[in-house]
Structure formats: structure tokens, C-alpha cells
């Protein structure tokens, strides 16, 4: 059992205990008064709304898992991986060795190529904002479903407690009639005893059904928590690895190309004016853009490595989350099928 499932199990066991302890005799009487011993249908309907609520919660959890917002993150990583795969760090960071005229044309092509890639990064960055908003919306929905699931779970527990109290009450009636039969020998009491035992059997089956419905709810609740946790982990990863890093990477890219052009010009002019070339080199650090310090492409390469590593880690995280979610979904679907089959 996973740590999350274990925590949820402990939380629900505490809720069971607290709900049972907090139920007043008046509330138990109110619920048991819904049972009429001369109306078998009242036993079959006992706790029906709570059982249906548990099934609806399971359906909502399964639907939410199939529409998981993490799919957006998977799509984004595919797009980002494709764009980053078109960057050539060697091309950006290696020193130019051709003649000045060729260098100029080469750098112009470089500028055109990476201006197009920068536009692609802008598109991916806009997609990132959309995915983060999808994760936010998903978590708000999951929080609502979680609160609803806990409420329905508590309702089931109350009906189970009341049903078990009604079982004891009927058992008490049976004991009274059996003692009266022994004392009086009145054979007509046997019919009452048989009727009470039939009602008791029906009620026990109904309480068992409610406990099965509670099992469905117990599986739904940690699944909702799992989806919330996965979404939050993805949000944190997207924010730290991409929302903050991509703008800095774009900044370093622009600076690297500027410095590459400056160095090419400096090399060509060195033969004519060594002093001028020295001044250009000494001024290059001053051209660094807002908070980004260039070291001739080293910073760009580091950021590129950070982003590509984060893409890989996010993909792995998403794949692991998908495996966990698939397992939880299969378990919940199986338990729900068993619950539905038990009612036939």
C-alpha cells in the first residue's frame, strides 16, 4: 500500500470513529425509524441515497482521471522537446574560424534560425501558461469532488452505524419473542419470530451492501488525492523548470548571438587595430542583458542543459503518475463493478 493510500486509510478510519462517536441517540433513532419491519422495501431502500452518492463519486473520480490535466503537460513536453532538439549548442558556442565576410553571412543565418526558434519558444511559453491554468482548474474541481466524497462517506458511515443498531434492536425483539414462546407455548409467536429473522437477514444484507459502497468510497477518496498530488507536483516542476528558466534562456540566447557577432568583428579588425579589438572585448560583458551574465555561451549551454534535463524529468514524472493513476483507476473500476454486481 502506498504512503498516500495508507494516509487516506488512516484518515478515513479516524472519520469512521469520529462519526460513530458523534452520532446522537436521536440521530440513530431518526435513521432507524426509516425501517419498517412489515415493509421489506424499506429495508432495501435504507441508505440508498448514500450508496448512490458513493457510486456517483466513483464515477466522477474515474471521469476526472480520464480527463487528467497531466495530459496537457505531456503534450507540452513533446512540443518543448521538439523545439529544444533543434538547438545546436556547438553551433552557438564554438568560435568562428572563417573570413569576416563569411562570418557575417553565417551569423546572419544564425540570427534568422534562432529568431524562428525563439518564436517557437514564445508559442510553447504561451502553451505553458495554458497547461498551468488547466492544472489549477483541475485541482479546484478535485478539491470539490474530495469534499463531496468525504461528505458522502460520512453519510454512509451514519447509515451503517444506524443499520447495525437496528440489527441489535431486531435481535432483541427475536430474543423476547423466543423467551415468550418458551414461557407460553403460543405457537402463533413462531410466525412473528420467522418474520423478524427474515427482516434481520434482509437488514444484514443491506448493511453489507452499504459497507461495500463504503469500500468504493474508500477507493475513490485516495484516488482523488493522488490526482491532486500529481497535479501539484507537475505544477511545481513546470513553474521551477520552465516558467522561470525559459525567459532567462531566451535572454542568454540573444546575448550569445550578439557576443558571437562582436567577437567575429573583433577578430577581423584585430589585424588593423589591435587596440580597438581589445576595447570591444573589454566592453562585451557590459552588454549583458538584465541579470544574465554571459561567459561566451557557457551560461546558455548550462540553461539548455537544465531545460532538456527538466523535460526528461517531467516526462518521467508524468509517466510514473500515469502508471499510479492507471492502477488506482483499475482498482476503483473493479471494486465498483463488484458493488454493482452484488446488487443484482
Give the model confidence (pLDDT) of 70-87 as tens digits.
Answer: 777 888 888 888 888 888
Within a 13 Å sphere around the CA of 272, how many CA atoms are in the beta-carbon half? 6
Query: Cell match 534535463: residue?
Result: 309
Contact 304, 88 (CB under 8 A): no
Is the CB of residue 166 less than 8 Å from the CB of residue 220? Answer: no
Domain that holds residue 172: 3-342
Position 59 pLDDT exceeds 50: yes
Q: Each residue of 222-259: pLDDT tens digit?
A: 888 888 888 888 888 888 778 878 888 888 888 877 77
Residue 238: name the closest of 77, 41, 32 by CA: 77
Unique residue bearing C-alpha cell 453519510: 155
Calpha distance 59→55 (Å, rounded)? 6
Torsion of CA 278, 282, 284, 290, to 10 degrees: -170
pLDDT in tens, 124-147: 888 888 888 888 888 898 899 899
Identify the burial level of 231 via C-beta atoms within 10 angstroms of its C-beta, where 0-12 means exposed, 13-18 middle and 19 or more buried: buried
- What mean pLDDT comes out for the span 298-302? 81
Predicted pLDDT at 297: 62
**If you search the block for the grid coordinates 437496528, which residue do you land on?**
166
pLDDT at 244: 79
pLDDT, the chain, mean: 80
Burial state string for 49-76 with b = 16 or more CB within 10 A and e = fewer than 16: ebbebbbebbebbbebbeebbbebbbeb
State the pLDDT at residue 204.
Answer: 95
For 302-344, write each residue's pLDDT tens digit. 888 888 888 888 888 888 888 888 888 888 888 888 777 766 6
pLDDT in tens, 260-275: 767 666 665 554 455 4
Query: Given a cut of 90, is residue 32 above it in pLDDT?
Result: yes
- Going by the DSSP 8-state scheme, the letter that residue 42 receives in this structure is H
Mean pLDDT of 109-129: 84
Query: What was the pLDDT predicted at 175?
Result: 95
Q: Report pLDDT digits (tens) over 173-219.
A: 999 999 999 998 888 889 999 999 999 999 999 999 999 888 888 88
C-alpha torsion sign, points 30, 34, 36, 40: negative
Total structural domains within the chain: 1
The Cα–Cα gap between 147 and 19 comes to 16
Amino acid at each position: 500500500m502506498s504512503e498516500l493510500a495508507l494516509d487516506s486509510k488512516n484518515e478515513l478510519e479516524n472519520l469512521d470513529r469520529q462519526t460513530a462517536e458523534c452520532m446522537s441517540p436521536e440521530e440513530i433513532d431518526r435513521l432507524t425509524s426509516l425501517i419498517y419491519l412489515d415493509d421489506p422495501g424499506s429495508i432495501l431502500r435504507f441508505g440508498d441515497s448514500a450508496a448512490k452518492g458513493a457510486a456517483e463519486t466513483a464515477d466522477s473520480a474515474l471521469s476526472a482521471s480520464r480527463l487528467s490535466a497531466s495530459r496537457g503537460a505531456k503534450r507540452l513536453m513533446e512540443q518543448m522537446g521538439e523545439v529544444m532538439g533543434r538547438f545546436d549548442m556547438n553551433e552557438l558556442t564554438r568560435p568562428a574560424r572563417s573570413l569576416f565576410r563569411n562570418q557575417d553571412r553565417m551569423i546572419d543565418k544564425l540570427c534568422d534560425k534562432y529568431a524562428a526558434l525563439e518564436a517557437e519558444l514564445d508559442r510553447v511559453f504561451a502553451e505553458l501558461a495554458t497547461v498551468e491554468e488547466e492544472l489549477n482548474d483541475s485541482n479546484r474541481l478535485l478539491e470539490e469532488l474530495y469534499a463531496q466524497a468525504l461528505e458522502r462517506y460520512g453519510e454512509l458511515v451514519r447509515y451503517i452505524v444506524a443499520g447495525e443498531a437496528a440489527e441489535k434492536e431486531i435481535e432483541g425483539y427475536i430474543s423476547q419473542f423466543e423467551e415468550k414462546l418458551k414461557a407460553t407455548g403460543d405457537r402463533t409467536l413462531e410466525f412473528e419470530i420467522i418474520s423478524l429473522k427474515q427482516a434481520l437477514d434482509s437488514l444484514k444484507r443491506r448493511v453489507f451492501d452499504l459497507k461495500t459502497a463504503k469500500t468504493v468510497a474508500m477507493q475513490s477518496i485516495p484516488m482523488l488525492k493522488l490526482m491532486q498530488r500529481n497535479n501539484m507536483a507537475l505544477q511545481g516542476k513546470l513553474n521551477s523548470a520552465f516558467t522561470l528558466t525559459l525567459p532567462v534562456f531566451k535572454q542568454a540566447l540573444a546575448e550569445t548571438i550578439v557576443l558571437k557577432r562582436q567577437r567575429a568583428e573583433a577578430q577581423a579588425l584585430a589585424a588593423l587595430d589591435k587596440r580597438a579589438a581589445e576595447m570591444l572585448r573589454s566592453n562585451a560583458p557590459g552588454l549583458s542583458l538584465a541579470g544574465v551574465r554571459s561567459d561566451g555561451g557557457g551560461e546558455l549551454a548550462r540553461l539548455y542543459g537544465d531545460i532538456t534535463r527538466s523535460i526528461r524529468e517531467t516526462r518521467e514524472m508524468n509517466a510514473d503518475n500515469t502508471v499510479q493513476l492507471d492502477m488506482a483507476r483499475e482498482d476503483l473500476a473493479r471494486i465498483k463493478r463488484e458493488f454493482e454486481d452484488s446488487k443484482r
